[in-house]
Structure formats: C-alpha cells, structure tokens
Amino acid sequence: MRWGMVINLKKCTRCHACIAACRIEHFLPMGMNWPRLIAWETDVPGEELTTIPVRCNQCKDAPCVEVCPAEATKKREDGIVYVDNDICVGCRYCIIACPYQNRTFLSRDKDPGYFPGYERTRFEKAGRKIYPHVVGTTEKCDFCMERIDAGLAKGLVPGKDREATPACVNTCQSRALTFGDLDDPESEVSKLIKEQNAFQLHPEYGTDPAVYYIDGKIGNAPSNIAPREEQTASHIQHLSTMEERAKQIFGKK
Amino acid sequence: MAEKKIIKTTCKSCHGGCGVLVEVTDGVITHIEGNPESATRGTMCAKGLSSIQHIDNPYRITHPYKRTGEKGEGKWKQISWDEALDTIAAKIKEASEKYGPWTVATSQGTGRGYNRYVHRFSRSMGSANVISPGYICHSPRIGLYGLITGYGRLYCDYHGWGGVFPKTQISWAKQLEISSADSEMAYWYTKSLDYCKNLIIVDPRATAFTSRATLWLQIRPGTDAALALGMINIIIQEGLWDKEFVENWTYGFEELKNRAAEYPVDKVSEITWIPKEKIIQAARLFAQDTPGVIQIGSSLERQANCGQTIRAIINLLGITGNIERPGSMISWVLPETGLIEDVFNEIPLTDEMRSHIYGGDKFKMGAARTCNPDTIIRELNKGEKPIRVWISVGGQQIVHLASTQQVVEGLKNLDFLVQVDQFWGPMAEMADIVLPSAHWLELDDIYDMHPRFMIEAHNKCVEPPGEAMSDAWIFNEIGRRVVPEYWFKDVETLLDHELRKAPITWKKFSERTVSGCFGPDQKYYKYKTDYWRKGGGFPTPTGKMELYSTVLENLGYDPLPFFKEPGESPYSTPELAKEYPLVLTTGFRSPFYFLAQYRNIPWLRTFMEYPTMQINPKTAKELGIEDGDFVWLESPRGKIIQKARLFPGIDPRVVAATANWFYPEAPAQGYRGVFISNPNILTNANYQDPMYGSPDLTCLICKVYKCKPEELKDPKYSDIFIKEHGGKPWAW
Ligand code: SF4
Ligand code: SF4
Ligand code: SF4
Ligand code: SF4
C-alpha cells in the first residue's frame, strides 16, 4: 500500500481553499503553509504562466529522510513521510535536501499569532492543545496521516470515506484532488494516472513522488446525460422540510 | 470531559450557500468544514473556511458607538443599545415628519441575509429609497430576465435534474469557479463541466480555465454587446437558429435579424479585438451543440451600456432555444416555504413612495424598487439634501460607488448616518452612530439564495463579540421603535413569519437546515404548460419571449439591443486616449476576497497582501515596470497605487486593477486608506446606463507609471507600504 494524490490541473481553479483547509485541520501558525500554490514560470523572466498547487510529494526515495541526522524525518510503510517534531533538532538539513522546497522551518517569527500584539484567539489557543507545533523544528504536509489512521481504525477507506481522507481533498470545490492507494490498480488514483497521462513534478530529481498531476482540455465529454443520483438529487432530497399541507399546496401534482 | 457539539449551518461569506459543519468544544469553535449532506457536498472555499478568523478578531466592532469628533477623525464614545436605537428612531421620525419619509434611505452591501430586511424596513417607514449595489450587480440581469419570465430569474441548469447537463457553456465575464457569486455555486458549475462538450470563456484576462477551454474570446472590456449581436448575426445568417422555438415562442425575430445584420463579423472583430474565426466558431458551437447556458458576470453590469448588453445576451439564448429546456437557462420553482422575499413584498410600494425614488424618472428599469445612488451623491455634492437620514448595513458605498472623492464629500452633507457592520471601515468612519453586527457563525437566520430553489438555516454556533447583534435583530428593534405595526416581538417570531407558508416553525427548520425543490420536483418547459399563462406562453404582453421588447419600447427605450462604445475608450475619446493610452478594467474576482470584505482576515490577506494590477510584460517593459513594483494608475480623476503583476494573460493594450480596496489597518483619518488604492478614485458616473443608471466602472482608460521609492515614504503611505515603519497588524 502506498498513499498517493492526483492533482487535476484542468479542474483546479487556483482558489486556495486547500491551503485554508490545511490551516484549519492542523491549526497552522500564521507563517506556515503546508500546501502552497506556486507560480509556474515560463523561460521568459517575470512572465508567470500559471500557478500550481504543491504539497510534500511523499517521495519514495526521499532525500529528506536520508539526510536527517536525528532520524526525526521518517517514512512509514504506507509511504507517508513525516517529521517527529519531538525528535527534530532543527538542523534544517532536510530543508536543503528537499529538491521541491516543500518543508518549512517553524521559527519564532513564523508564529506571531493571527493578530500580532493582541491576545491569541480562542481557536488559536485550542489549537495549541489539540495540535501543538514546536518552534525550532521543521514541518511539512503529512497527507493528514492522523485522519488516515483514525479512519482506517474505523474500517473506512481513505480517498473514499470523508473521515479518512485528507482535509484539502474534502474541501476542494472543483474536485481537483483525488486520494488513494497507488499500489491498488483499481483505485481512483491509479486509474487516473493510467488513463490521463499523469506526470510527476521534476522526475529528473529521481525521488519518485506520490503526488501526480494531470492536465488537458475541459470539455469533450462523451455524454451530457445526468446519472440517476444527480437527476434525483438523492443526497439532499431527504433534507427537504416538506410537510403534509405544503405537499398539497406546492407538491408535484 | 470537554463538551463537543457539531452544529449544522450555512456559510454566507460570499452570496453564500455552502452547508457547513462547525465543531464547538466548550463554547469555542475548534473546527469548520463543509457539510457532506448539503447541496455543495462538503466542499468550502478559502473565504468560508477562514470565517474562523472573524471570531476574536480584534478589529470587530463590539459595541454601539456614537461619534464625538469630526467625521473621519475616529473619535467615538461607547453608548448603550437603548441610547443608540432611541436616537436613531428619533432621527428617522424627525426627518420623516419634517421632510417626508423618502428622505430616509436604507442602504445595503451585497445581496446577502440583510437584503430582505433592508427592503421591509425601508417600505415600512414609507420610503422606496433603498440604496443597493444591485444596479451594478445582478439587478439588470434579474430585471431583464423578468421581461421574459415575468418573475425575473433565469439561472444555469447545472444540476442534471431534467436528465441532462448543458452541452455548451459560455462563461461570460464571470469566474464562478472561484466566486460562487450570486449563489450559483462553484461546486455545481465545476461538476457540470464534467458533462460539458464545449466551454467558451469570454474574458479580457486569462484564468485557470481559459487555456483549457474549447475557446477563449479575449474581449476588449465594454464591447460585449457587439460580440453578442455579432454571434446572433452569424447564427441567423447561417440558418442555425432554433426554428421551432423561435417560430412558436418568440416575438420580434425579423426585427432582431435586421438589427443583428448591423453587426457583421468583421466589424465585430474590429470592435471587440477578438479574431473573426473565434467569433464564428463560438456562434456555431453555441447554436449547434445545445442545450447550452450562459453564465453572466456582474462586470457587464458595471458598464454604461449594461442594459443592452444583457438584452443582447438574452436574445442569443432566445434564438438558440436555450430557455427552460433541461440543461439550459431556467427559472426555478420555489420550495414549499415559498418566496422568502415576500417578507418585504407584503408591504407594496405605493405610488407616493415610487414618485420619490431618486433617479426614478431617468433610470426606469432600475427604479423598480431602488433608487439611483449616483443621483443622490450628485445632489448631495450640489449642497441639496435629497436624503437626510441614511441607515447603512454592511455595504461600503464609499468604496464601491463611482468617484470615491465625490462620495466622501457628498456623505458629509447628510444630517445623520448610521453604519451597521462587523468591522471598522470607511462607512463606519463617516457615520454618526455605529452598530455592531454579528457574523453568520453567531446568528440565527434564514439563508435565501438568489436562485431560490432552496433556503437553508444559519444556526448560531457561538455568541457574538461584546454586544453585537444579528442584522435581523437590529432592523426589528429599530422598526419596533419607528413603525411597530410592521415589526415583531422578537427575531424568532419574525423567522416563523417568514417560514409560515411551508408551514414550519423556525425551531423545526433550523434542525432540518434545508427546504428545497430539487430533482424531479423541478419543472422544465413552463411555457408549454399553464404555469405562466393559460394555454402556454410567457408572462409578457405578447405572451411570447420578447426578442423585441414591447415593455422597453413603452418605457421609451430601444426595444432591440445595440452596442455603444464605453464613455471613455480609445475609440470614443481618441484625444483623451493619447494621454491615457491603456484600457482599464477593474473588479475581476478574487478567490480570497468578496468585494470590499476580508482584508482584515489574516489568512485571506496572506494570499494577496496588496491590491494587485495585472499588466502584460510587453507593456510593462516599455514602461520600465517590473513584477512586484508599486505603480500609479492615473485617470483624469486622480491616481492610485497598486502592485504590478506581470501577466502574459492580458492584452498589452489593457490593464486590470483590483477593485474595492481600502486598508482596514489604516487609521480612521483618510477613511481607512480608501483614497490610496481604490480604483473608484479613477471612475466617474458621467456615463450611465439609461435603463439602470450603471456607470462605467469596468471599462475606462488610464495611464500607468512606476511609483518612485520616495513617494512611498510619504507619511500618508509609509505605514502601509513600508513594513519597517510599522505595518501592524499585518506584521507577518
Ligand atoms: S482547493 Fe482545489 S481548486 Fe482550489 S486551489 Fe486547491 S486544488 Fe485547486
Ligand atoms: S517532497 Fe521534499 S519533503 Fe516531501 S518527501 Fe520529497 S524530499 Fe521529502
Ligand atoms: S494532505 Fe493534509 S497535510 Fe497535506 S496539504 Fe492536504 S490537508 Fe495539508
Ligand atoms: S463558496 Fe461562498 S458559501 Fe461556500 S464556503 Fe465559500 S464563501 Fe462560503
């Protein structure tokens, strides 16, 4: 089993919601962004072509793991690379080693509070307890491993069941993010990778990222027929407040 | 053991509508995410998620205040709710008795929760002078759709309830994918694209979708009517129109045909700067691959030809038969709760109220239920007092109306101004009394979406800060003091009243959270049934969809659409364009801000710290501007500073500025930085749409040049632009 993510650039609207969701999920200090949208430059200096969402690639051959002298950056069986912040000594070798610049050192100035000079908000204070961050250590996206573990423990399937799926994937309004098991050829991610010519960023770095990208044209859908569950709006129908009398007055005759 | 609750509610950080789950632990919000059991299936955008930072935000207004210094001086004294409400009620009564109730105006921001209370409040007092941003956002669409459907709403059928999704979609001056504007949700739109054959985008700037769409028509701002008429002409010339629909259900096809013939594709290409082949291809795709929809953005309503532009686009929908078919444009059937807006419709406008609508004699379509704000500002600047008392909720007229300087000078001339708001901003600094209002996480109310096929519940999750109260409570309390016969014992009674048709009580509805008419309960092809008219047809004077509008004709307007150059453009004012050579468009959507809001939400401000203007690298090079430079944008009215972003996705002859910008962190003096970067410093209301009064806000001309470093050191700007000099609270 190896968890992976497919980012669909033809769906991504560059709305930044994934960043906001990650900030909430992990109570990120102001200066920390685990996922980011970065400019994709052309060869002409200063000409920005587009932006592209990135987060830690959970590389198979992760240089950040190799260089860590304290063995604080670890790779799990399921491919997730994470930092044990109780062990991290803050040497920042991994930051230099990561060719994708997906790691951030949490220095004191990156944690000024939401409103510098004012009391921390109650959400911030609660976050200190629920999801503490250790100043002087390095952080990065960990594929929401707590969600995955808690979900699996309940028998849920990451990428399918919301509770077991990364927060950014859940919030994405255009459904540009897909999560699942790269080792399972039947998983949604594996199928997307195979069918839509997915690519990894900078394969020449030789780290074998678990985050893939697909791109192409919008449109050319083979059919515009709505599937039955869309036609019936079954996911919201049951919420309707329809009362007996209202049914008589307004209901379908 | 901590007490943990999950509260189901509805987001209102844009026009709203996403279902939300809020986790509250011992009275503190510890998590927000989308509700998977809602119409947006658990998704939320950055704005909605960042609502957490409204809570304990030190910039919130927490108590009622009365001004003790000069306007814009920032000197305030905290007062009690009773003193505030009694003073306001007395001022309203005094003005009403002495000068007439129409001298009391009520204004609002975007069409969110308070919209219907604003109208009820105004009407209950006997005034139709509602000052609404509607005339530059959504009202022209509603009003002109109303000429076909009577009831005034056509929306894109993104849901597949009729069996199919749209095959061809035109996204016209809109970025629904990042805005969910007008409560057509980004989630629905992007999902419908999975079933789309052709996506056509009409936008002067590249977006995430333009390079991936079937076609991108990169249009010169302000020429959209020409494009629509050009497409109509091609469709008619090539015989591609929907013959069955046009013959049986439309009126005035021949007249439209002749009018459209005045827009041959070569001419249209010259006007719009769009290559001829692309216009032809767009016309063919839209006519042949039906059903189709056109999603119209409010930028078109911020132009002095807005009425005819929208009419032209509606006619394009008409000749292609894209009305009321599954997968086309549709007017949704209401849920069992009926029309929530009846809470103000039940107090009809009287002839006397109507006769005092400012600008009503001129802008006849706009005057259906609101006045023309620019007319009032002009009068105030002349030293007249058309309005004595102005009750403003949520909106920032100083920021969004044309000609910021004139708005500020004009408002100083009011006898009494109240601002109801969550945060300090330019309007609050101008006010005599400021009232603190609650955020959607802090209140009970009904969420009434623009497309109207459902309503949802805003359920209170936490207490508001200090003494802040919901807008519904505030209106009810002022209303009770001025015209008690129209107002309610408390907010719950008001909400029960609004829901009575279902019938359901607020308490019960708040548990259910949704009342909707969706799926097979919706009705398509209403014109083929008795729905609008016995024996079928449209609720228009001719019983047909009026390509030629008899209603407009009777009001003295051209019944057929036409194109008119913007008031200032390289073609309409060539002399002026020598001095101001670049076309300027303002107000493109940002996924982090909703109009003038959220510059004080740290998470959102990190995404765009300074207002940003986009300029083509070629143009920038000629002007010696580099990416990230602060630049001046100047028009004959004044100049503003924005940060330059070199962007190849914009025409070298056009620049785009971020609109609605003030600096909440700036001092009260200078009205919180409203004169520094707001593009309405550059606009004016000299050219207005004859139907709606909408001025040219998104199509004008300007020049751009680099800001000298010493200019930013000016004490007026240094706190904002030079971080070492403070930069608080945005120290990060
Ligand atoms: S939330 Fe989705 S659409 Fe928005 S930026 Fe992230 S990946 Fe793209
Ligand atoms: S992207 Fe960087 S931080 Fe993440 S696993 Fe690869 S090398 Fe390590
Ligand atoms: S997977 Fe989880 S940790 Fe990684 S970016 Fe998404 S929300 Fe953040
Ligand atoms: S799209 Fe609108 S309603 Fe949905 S989360 Fe964003 S701001 Fe809220």
CATH number at residue A89: 3.30.70.20
Task: Classify burial at B683, counting beta carbons within 10 Å of its beta carbon; exposed 0-12, middle 13-18, buried 19 or more.
Answer: buried
Residue owning the nearest CA to atom 4 of ligand 4: B18
- Residue A52 within a domain: yes
Q: Where are the domains of chain B?
A: 65-137+337-512, 155-330, 574-721
CA dist B200 and B214 (Å) reads 6
| Chain B neighbors of A31, CB-CB under 8 A | 732
DSSP structure class, residue A201 = S
DSSP structure class, residue B641 = E
Q: How confident is the model at residue B731 (pLDDT cuts 50, 70, 90)?
A: very low
Q: Which CATH class is domain B65-137+337-512?
A: alpha beta
pLDDT at position B665 is 86
B376 closest CA partner among B367, B138, B140, B677: B367
CA dist B650 and A13 (Å) reads 18
Q: Which two tokens stand for residue A61?
A: 């051959």
pLDDT of B722 strictly over 80: no
Q: Check if B138 contacts A (Cβ < 8 Å).
A: no
Chain A residues 83-112 with a CB less than 8 Å from chain B:
110, 112
Give the chain A residue whose CA is nearest to the CA of B18.
Answer: A173
B660 closest CA partner among B591, B585, B596: B596
Question: What are the beta bridge partners of residue B546?
Answer: B251
Element (H, E) at B618: helix B617-622
- The answer to whether B295 and B169 are in contact (CB under 8 A) is yes
CA dist B481 and B489 (Å) reads 12
B261 closest CA partner among B290, B230, B299: B230
B113 lines ligand 4 (CB under 6 A): no
* DSSP labels, chain A: --EEEEEETTT-----HHHHHHHHHTT--TT--SSEEEEEE-SSTT-EEEEEEE-----TT-HHHHH-TT--EEE-TTS-EEE-TTT-----HHHHH-TT---EE--GGG---SSTTSPPPHHHHHHHHHS---TTSEE---TTHHHHHHHHHTT--TTTSGGGS-HHHHH-TT--EEEEETT-TTSHHHHHHHHTT-B-S-GGG----SEEEE---S---S--BPPHHHHHTHHHHTT----HHHHHHHS--
pLDDT of B218 strictly over 50: yes
B166-204 pLDDT per residue, tens: 999 999 999 999 999 988 999 999 999 999 999 999 999
Whether residues A225 and B42 touch (CB distance < 8 A) is answered with: no
CA distance B566 to chain A (A): 30
Question: What are the beta bridge partners of residue A179?
Answer: A5
Contacts 24+ apart (CB under 8 A), B539-544: B539/B149, B539/B150, B539/B151, B540/B147, B540/B148, B540/B150, B540/B251, B542/B251, B544/B249, B544/B250, B544/B251
Torsion sign (Cα): B396, B400, B404, B407:
negative
Residue owning the nearest CA to atom 7 of ligand 2: A98
Q: Measured in angstroms, how far is the CA atom of residue A189 from the centroid of ligand 3?
A: 16
CA distance A60 to chain B (A): 30
CA distance A177 to chain B (A): 12
- The answer to whether A38 and A52 are in contact (CB under 8 A) is yes
Residue owning the nearest CA to atom 3 of ligand 1: A12
What is the maximal distance between C-alpha atoms in chain A? Answer: 73
pLDDT at position A2 is 98
Give the chain B residue whose CA is nearest to the CA of A247.
Answer: B336
B376-388 pLDDT per residue, tens: 999 999 999 999 9
Torsion sign (Cα): A15, B116, B415, B70:
negative
Residue whose tokens read 């950055």: B46
- The answer to whether B223 and B563 are in contact (CB under 8 A) is yes
- The answer to whether A48 and B645 are in contact (CB under 8 A) is yes
**Which ligand 2 atom sits nearest the alpha carbon of residue A57?**
1
Of B30, B39, B607, the CB nearest to A126: B30
Whether residues B33 and A171 touch (CB distance < 8 A) is answered with: yes
Would you call B44 helix, strand, or coil by DSSP? coil
Tens of pLDDT, residue by residue, chain A (253 residues): 999 999 999 999 999 999 999 999 999 999 899 999 998 766 555 555 778 999 999 999 999 999 999 999 999 999 999 999 999 999 999 999 999 999 999 999 889 899 988 999 999 999 999 999 999 999 999 999 999 999 999 999 999 999 999 999 999 999 999 999 999 999 999 999 999 999 999 999 999 999 999 999 999 999 999 999 899 888 887 777 655 555 555 555 5
CA dihedral B42, B48, B52, B57 (to 10 degrees): -170
Strands A138-139 and A177-181: unpaired
Helix axes of B115-125 and B471-482: crossing angle, nearest 10 degrees: 10
Q: Measured in angstroms, how far is the CA atom of residue A202 from the centroid of ligand 2?
A: 12
A93-122 pLDDT per residue, tens: 999 999 999 999 999 988 989 998 899 999
CA dist B105 and B119 (Å) reads 10
Amino acid at A100: Y
Would you call A238 helix, strand, or coil by DSSP? coil
Whether residues B46 and A17 touch (CB distance < 8 A) is answered with: yes
Element (H, E) at B448: strand B445-448
Chain A residues 2-21 with a CB less than 8 Å from chain B:
9-17, 19-21
Would you call B483 helix, strand, or coil by DSSP? coil
- Ligand 1 neighbours, Cβ below 6 Å, are A 12-18, 37, 53, 172, 174, 176-177
- Residue A221 within a domain: no
CA distance B505 to chain A (A): 11
Residue owning the nearest CA to atom 2 of ligand 1: A172
Q: How confident is the model at residue B269 (pLDDT cuts 50, 70, 90)?
A: very high
Write out B244-265 in H/E/C secondary structure.
HHHHHHEECHHHHHHHHCCCCH
Element (H, E) at B179: helix B176-179
Q: How confident is the model at residue B336 (pLDDT cuts 50, 70, 90)?
A: confident
- Asked if A247 and A182 sit in the same domain, the reply is no
pLDDT at position A241 is 60
Q: Measured in angstroms, how far is the CA atom of residue B17 from the centroid of ligand 4?
A: 6
A12 lines ligand 2 (CB under 6 A): no
Whether residues B190 and A11 touch (CB distance < 8 A) is answered with: yes
| Chain A neighbors of B37, CB-CB under 8 A | 235-236, 239
A207 lines ligand 2 (CB under 6 A): yes
- What number is the average pLDDT over the span B272-282? 98
Q: Measured in angstroms, how far is the CA atom of residue A140 from the centroid of ligand 3?
A: 9
Give the chain A residue whose CA is nearest to the CA of B199.
Answer: A219
- Best of A174, A217, A238 to substitute, by most chain B Cβ atoms within 10 angstroms, is A174
CA dist B643 and A26 (Å) reads 32
CA dist A251 and A249 (Å) reads 6
| Chain A neighbors of B62, CB-CB under 8 A | none
Q: Under CATH, which architecture does the B155-330 domain have?
A: 3-Layer(aba) Sandwich (3.40)
B11 lines ligand 4 (CB under 6 A): yes
Which domain covers residue A7, as residue numbers? 3-214
pLDDT at position A125 is 97
- The answer to whether B60 and B437 are in contact (CB under 8 A) is no
Element (H, E) at B30: strand B28-34
CA dist A190 and A198 (Å) reads 10
Whether residues B502 and A24 touch (CB distance < 8 A) is answered with: no
CA dist A103 and A96 (Å) reads 9
**Which ligand 4 atom sits nearest the alpha carbon of residue B10?**
3
Number of domains in chain A: 2
Q: How many CB atoms lie within 10 A of CB B303?
A: 33
Q: Compute CA B68 distance to the chain's CA centroid, rounded to the nearest angstrom.
A: 34
**B550 vs A39, residue with greater confidence:** B550
Give the predicted TM-score (pTM) of the model: 0.96
Chain B residues 618-647 with a CB less than 8 Å from chain A:
620, 626-627, 645-647
| Chain B neighbors of A44, CB-CB under 8 A | 617
CA distance B454 to chain A (A): 9
**Which ligand 2 atom sits nearest the alpha carbon of residue A140?**
3
Whether residues A174 and B186 touch (CB distance < 8 A) is answered with: yes
Q: How confident is the model at residue B726 (pLDDT cuts 50, 70, 90)?
A: very low
pLDDT at position A242 is 59
Q: What percent of chain B has pLDDT over 90?
A: 91
A159 lines ligand 3 (CB under 6 A): no
Q: Give the ligand at the shortest distance from the Cα of A166.
A: 3
B344-374 pLDDT per residue, tens: 999 999 999 999 999 999 999 998 889 999 9
CA dist B451 and B440 (Å) reads 20
pLDDT of B483 strictly over 80: yes
Q: Which two tokens stand for residue A121?
A: 């908000």
- Residue A222 within a domain: no
A34 lines ligand 3 (CB under 6 A): yes
CA dist B259 and B345 (Å) reads 37
Question: What are the beta bridge partners of residue A250?
Answer: none
pLDDT at position B113 is 84
Q: Which two tokens stand for residue B629?
A: 């430079």
Chain B residues 201-260 with a CB less than 8 Å from chain A:
208-209, 211-214
| Chain A neighbors of B623, CB-CB under 8 A | none
Helix axes of B224-237 and B276-288: crossing angle, nearest 10 degrees: 60
| Chain B neighbors of A240, CB-CB under 8 A | 335-336, 512, 514-518
Would you call B230 helix, strand, or coil by DSSP? helix
Would you call B496 helix, strand, or coil by DSSP? helix
- What number is the average pLDDT over the span B715-721? 83
pLDDT of B570 strictly over 80: yes
- Residue A219 within a domain: no
- Asked if A80 and A164 sit in the same domain, the reply is yes
CA dist B54 and B131 (Å) reads 26
Q: How many CB atoms lie within 10 A of CB B628?
A: 12
- Best of A11, A12, A16, A123 to substitute, by most chain B Cβ atoms within 10 angstroms, is A16
Task: Classify burial at B424, counting beta carbons within 10 Å of its beta carbon; exposed 0-12, middle 13-18, buried 19 or more.
Answer: buried
Q: How confident is the model at residue B111 (pLDDT cuts 50, 70, 90)?
A: low
Q: What percent of chain B has pLDDT over 70?
A: 98
- Asked if A232 and A120 sit in the same domain, the reply is no
Q: Measured in angstroms, how far is the CA atom of residue A202 from the centroid of ligand 3?
A: 20
| Chain B neighbors of A24, CB-CB under 8 A | 31-33, 49, 52
Q: Which bin fits B255, alpha (ψ -120 to 50), beta or left (φ > 0)?
A: alpha
B671-706 pLDDT per residue, tens: 999 999 999 999 999 999 999 999 999 999 999 999
Q: Which bin fits B591, alpha (ψ -120 to 50), beta or left (φ > 0)?
A: alpha
Length of chain B: 732
Q: Give the ligand at the shortest distance from the Cα of A57.
A: 2
Give me the half-sphere count of Cα atoms (radius 13 Å) on the Cβ side of residue B661: 27
- Asked if A136 and A238 sit in the same domain, the reply is no
CATH 3.40.50.970 is right for the domain spanning B574-721: no
| Chain B neighbors of A108, CB-CB under 8 A | none
pLDDT at position A233 is 87
pLDDT at position B151 is 74
DSSP structure class, residue A251 = S
Mean pLDDT, chain B, rounded, equals 95
**Which ligand 2 atom sits nearest the alpha carbon of residue A73?**
8
Would you call B170 helix, strand, or coil by DSSP? strand
